[in-house]
Structure formats: structure tokens, C-alpha cells
Amino acid sequence: MMHIFNLMASFWLGRLSLKALPPNPIQWFGASLIILVPGMIAVLLTVTKRWKWLYKEWITTQDPKKIGVMYILVAIGMLLRGGADVALIKTQQALSVGASHGILSASHFQQIVTAHGTIMIFFVAMGLMFGIINLIVPLQIGSRDVAFPFLNATSFWLFFFGMVLVNASLVLGDFAATGWLAYPPLSELRYSPTVGVDYWIWSLQIAGVGSLLAAINFIVTILKMRVKGMNFMKMPMFVWSVLGSMLLVAFAFPILTATLTLLALDRNLGMHFFTSGAGGNMMMYVNLIWAWGHPEVYILILPAFGVFSEVVATYSKKRLFGYTSMVWAIAAIVLLSFIVWLHHFFTMGAGSDVNAFFGIMTMIIAIPTGVKLFNWLFTMYRGKIRLDSPMLWFIGFVVIFTIGGMAGVLMAVPPIDFQLHNSLFLVAHFHMMIVGGVVFADFAAITYWFPKIFGFKLNETLGRWVFWLWLVGFLMSFIPLYILGFMGATRRLDHYSASLGWQQLFIVSGIGAALIGAGVGVQLLQFAYSIYKRKDNRDKTGDPWDGRSLEWSLPSPVPFYNFARLPEVSSRDAFWEAKKSRLKDRRKYEDIEIPKNTPLAFMIAALAFIFAFTVVWHIWWLAVIALLSIITLIIVRSMDEQTDYILKASEVEKLDSLYLKGAKL
């Protein structure tokens, strides 16, 4: 009888059982937070009777501005989750020395390190980037919408449910203890028999497909939906940087999808693509994952470069220096980013000729990056510089990115990399490039464009406190890691001997991380205080310090239809032409097609989550149902022809008049 019961339980629940619940108090605390926060939001929505509003205005929306806001909100939430992981990592490294073994087990520590890397890259950096792209690109190219609104909504909800799946591992099961790129053989079933690696695979698979769909959407949007007169060499630099980034996504993310699929087949169907003992090749995995992984660095950094190009020109009150050279630098980075991946494993025995080639390519790709840096500095030269917080983020970026870049040039030399590979020196370099380059740019962008999207400004005093806490904390946190790397400290280190003399540096690094945490706290306070004081901080001018891109010609906040009358441009300074044409424009208003709200994007992504979760736990009957349901909904969507409603020209004229008068609609 017991055998029959076990067979039935295995069929209906797969590997899921009470043993999947968190095994220790720290994990119970994390699980309770993951359950408590959504629960509190649900109670708040119930008490305020806002469920219908949430459904109609946000869950079913196809408006890229609302989708952009949701991307950023999810990314900020995951920044807090990733920050909590950092607190545990830094505490463990500061305390786990000699006879003391800190607060975490070795396995739990490795899970936290893996989750931190995965979340910060895929659900913070990528989320902030796609959020800003959704908010700004249509406005800068003079478009009322993106090319494929439904695809855009589906992309976001796949990103969202990928995030949910990562955090589900806190409640049921565990997460990968392999590092954030899950190299075989450690990620193979023999050495990671629990569900952790499967959570990692399928959360990235869902979010990765969403990123690929978003890239296709924005490539078509930029190529086909630019306003009349805006040829390629009249596009804002941010749009150029997004185009380069999205082309990289379109070419790189299919590699990630294929690699994760092969690893899943190894784990679930007994195949041996990466198991060397059975005819596979684990180095093929390393090559494939970095053939995606290094372009991913530039996928993140190129839009950041575009943001700084906008910010520096605006707050220097000058045209961007060297526009054409900046465009060619983006093109060079896009091409070169695919021929430097092997510098991530110089130590793997590829041979001196191969190592020399990739070392040289790594140094060459620094040239177009240097071109951009000097162009920004020349833009500032003799400019009327105003050091508001977006410009402070740029200056912080220059400091940190320069330090990180010099460390990267060091590691581009294979003999030096042999000494520094797998050390904390590498960790410091990577964080300085990604945080100092990408996250600082995202914060600058949010501050810079916040009044254009929401109609009021963020508090500048608190913004300056945020910047200085982040900058000082970041330098305190990662400069010691360079020193520790030279001293031999390896990454993912959870315990070390007291005789090595490393503890003081780990403590300093932990204090720096605490300052960053304080910066995040002040950042949340800045948002809350600015919302509270929004009536006193209305954006009345419509443009910050002569911003030249087209989006600043629109009222603040931007109308839901973007442009009442599509502008025409004939130069790179589209803002001035649009502002001038507003006074003289006598063209008639036109009917506007606006996509209807639809729940199908949310439903497809939710079913993708169910499919992934059930594959993780081997609940195959439900996985099949979810997969068939996804296919059915896609077919239903493809047959749905009535997707837009028409806003009549007379209504557009009335709305435009109200918006220009500052009415709240």
C-alpha cells in the first residue's frame, strides 16, 4: 500500500515534498519575507479596492511607458533582494576566519553567491536597462508606440515570472551552489542532484526568451518607426546605443538559450553534452556560456554609454562632441564583443597562440570605449557645467570605470591573468565595470528623465546624498578586494585561516557594503519624499537645462499617446525644431491607433512559469498541460485581429490642449 501511495505522490507531485521546505532559520526568514511582501501588497489592494485598477491599468497594459515603470519597480525590488544577499556574504567573510565558521554553511553561502550574481545581472541590470529603453526610445524617435506592443508586454511578464521563479527557491527547495554561470561538471546531476541548478536554468530560460523578444521589438521599432526626417545620423546617441545593444541581444541570447537547453537535457534526460566521462566536453559549455556572457557585458554597458551621452551634453549645455566617432565606436564595440570571450578562461589550456589573439582583441576593444570617454570629456570642455545629481553619477562613473578598466587591461595579458584568475581581483574588476558603468548610468537616467515621465522632479538634496553614499561605499567595498586578490584570496570564499591577515580588509569591505546599503535606503526615502512633495516639484519648464532630444518637446508627464502630432526633424537637435514647430505647426490632428489592453501576455508568461516550475520538480503531467496551454494562447492571439481602438482627431486636439495647460488626466 505504501508503495502505491509513493507512486501516486510521485506522479502528482514529482520530487515535491515537505523536505523541500527551508532547513535553517536564515532560509526560513528569507522564505517568510518572500511570502510576506506579496501578501501585504495583496491585503493593501484588497483594503483599498484596487484590484480592478491593477488589472486594467497595469497587468493588461501594452503602453511601453507603463511597462517601463514596471520593469524599474521589479528591478528595484530585486536590488533589495540582491543587497540582502550581499549583507550575508560580507558578514560571512568578515566573521568566518580561523576557528569561527561564521553564520552560513558552505553550501548555503555558495547558493547565496550564485543567487546574488544571477539576480543582479538578469533582474536588476537588465530590468533597469529595459525599463529605461521602454520609457525613452519611442519618445526620442518620435513614435507613438513600439513596433510590437503585445510582444513588448509578453517580454516584461516573462522577465517578471523569471524573477518569481528565482525567488521561489527560497520557499521550496534550494538554489544552485555553482556560481552564477554554473560550469559543468559541478552543475551536472551527479554533483548537483537537488533542484537548485534546475531553478537557475529555467529562470534564466524564461527571462532570456523575454529579453530576446524585447530585442526584436526594439530593433524593428528603431529601424522602421523613426519620425520623418530622422535618418540614422540624426538619431539621438541613446537610440544608437540601444540599437547596438539590441543587436547583441538578438545574436547572443540564442546561444544562452541553446546552452541552457543542452544542460537541461544532460540533467533531465541522461544526455552527455558536457560530461567528459561519457563522451561530452565540459569546455564546450565554457565556450558557449562566454560566447553569450561577454557580449552580455556590452549589452548592459552600451545603453549606459548612451545615457551618459545625453546627460553630459545636457548638463554641459553643449552639443555632444564627436557624434560620428561615437557612432562608429558603438559599431566597433558590437563587432569586437564577439571575439574576446576566451579571455575569461585563459587558464584553461587553449594554447599560447589562441591566448595571444584574444589578449590582443581585448586590448583593441578598449579603444572605442576610450573614444567615448574622451568625447564626453571634450563635451564638458568649456561647457557651462551644472553638477546636478545625474552629472555626479557620470563623474562617479569616470572614476570607477577608469579604475576597473585599467584592471581589465592588466588581466588581458595572459601571464598576468594566470596569477589573478579566479581571485577577488577579478570580482572587483567585474563589479567596477558593471556597477560603476551600468548601475550608475541607470540611476543617472532615472533622475534625468523622471520629470518627463511622472511630471515632477526627484529631490536633489537627497539625490546627492545617495550618490556620495554609493560612491564612497563602493570604493571602500571593492578596493580592498583588489588587494585581497593580489594576496591570493579566491572568489566565492566562505572561510580562511587567521594567519593570512585578510580579516581586516574583509571588514573594511563589509563597511563599504553597509554604506551602499545606506545609499539604497536614502534612495527609497528620496522616492517617497519626492512623491509626497510632488506638487512643489512640478516640472514646469518641460526641459532640464536645454535638453536637446525630442522627448523634451513633450509636456510633462508625457501623454499616453506620446505625440498629438508627429513632428518632423532635419537635424540632430530635434528638440529645438519640435519646440519651434509647436508655435508654427498648422497641420491637422490625425486619428491615433492605440492598442487595446489584453490579459494574454500575462497569461502566456504565467503559464511559462508553471511549465518551468513543474519541470524543476518533475511534475510532468502539469508541465504538458502548461505547454499545450501556452501554444493554444499563442494561436488564439495570432487569430485576434481586433487589437486597437481609434482615438479620433477631435479628441486628440482636446486632450493635447488640456495637456499643454498642465491638466491632470
Tell me the per-residue pLDDT of 91-130, one tens digit each, with 9 for 90 and over. 999 999 988 888 989 999 999 999 999 999 999 999 999 9
For every residue of 141-183, DSSP letters joined together read TT-SS-S-HHHHHHHHHHHHHHHHHHHHTTTSS----STTTT-
Q: What is the pTM of this model?
A: 0.94
Q: Does position 542 have pLDDT exceeding 70, yes or no?
A: no
Q: Does position 34 have pLDDT exceeding 90, yes or no?
A: no
3-state secondary structure 617-630: CCCHHHHHHHHHHH
Between residues 594 and 10, which one has the greater pLDDT? 594
The pLDDT value given to residue 596: 87
Q: What are the CA-CA distances from residue 198 to residues 20, 103, 168, 193, 511 (Å)?
A: 14, 26, 12, 10, 34
Percent of the chain with pLDDT over 70: 93
Distance (Å, rounded) from C-alpha 480 to C-alpha 485? 9
Average pLDDT on 497-512 reads 94
Element (H, E) at 38: helix 25-47
Q: Does position 456 have pLDDT exceeding 70, yes or no?
A: yes
Between residues 11 and 155, which one has the greater pLDDT? 155
The pLDDT value given to residue 528: 94
632-651: pLDDT as tens digits: 999 988 887 666 778 888 88
Average pLDDT on 589-614 reads 91
E strands in 492-641? 592-595
Q: Does position 664 have pLDDT exceeding 80, yes or no?
A: no
Q: Does position 655 have pLDDT exceeding 60, yes or no?
A: yes
Range in 105-109, 352-356, 575-579 the model is least confident about: 575-579
Instruction: Give the right CATH number for 50-598+643-660 from 3.20.20.140, 1.10.1530.10, 1.20.210.10, 3.40.50.300.
Output: 1.20.210.10
**Residue reference for cell 555558495:** 110
The pLDDT value given to residue 579: 63
The pLDDT value given to residue 576: 66
Q: What are the CA-CA distances from residue 434 to residues 192, 338, 427, 541 (Å)?
A: 29, 18, 11, 34
The pLDDT value given to residue 1: 57
Distance of CA 366 to the CA centre of its chain: 23
Residues 6+ apart with CB under 8 A from 246: 214, 215, 218, 219, 222
Between residues 662 and 82, which one has the greater pLDDT? 82
Q: Does position 158 have pLDDT exceeding 70, yes or no?
A: yes
- Give the three-class secondary structure for 607: helix
pLDDT, averaged across the chain: 89
User: Domain boundaries in the chain?
Assistant: 1-49, 50-598+643-660
The pLDDT value given to residue 275: 87
The pLDDT value given to residue 552: 82
Q: Which three cell numbers stand for residue 375?
A: 568625447
- Give the three-class secondary structure for 284: helix
Let me know if 527 is exposed, middle or buried by CB neighbors in 10 A (0-12, 13-18, 19+).
Answer: middle
pLDDT range class, residue 653, cuts 50, 70, 90? confident
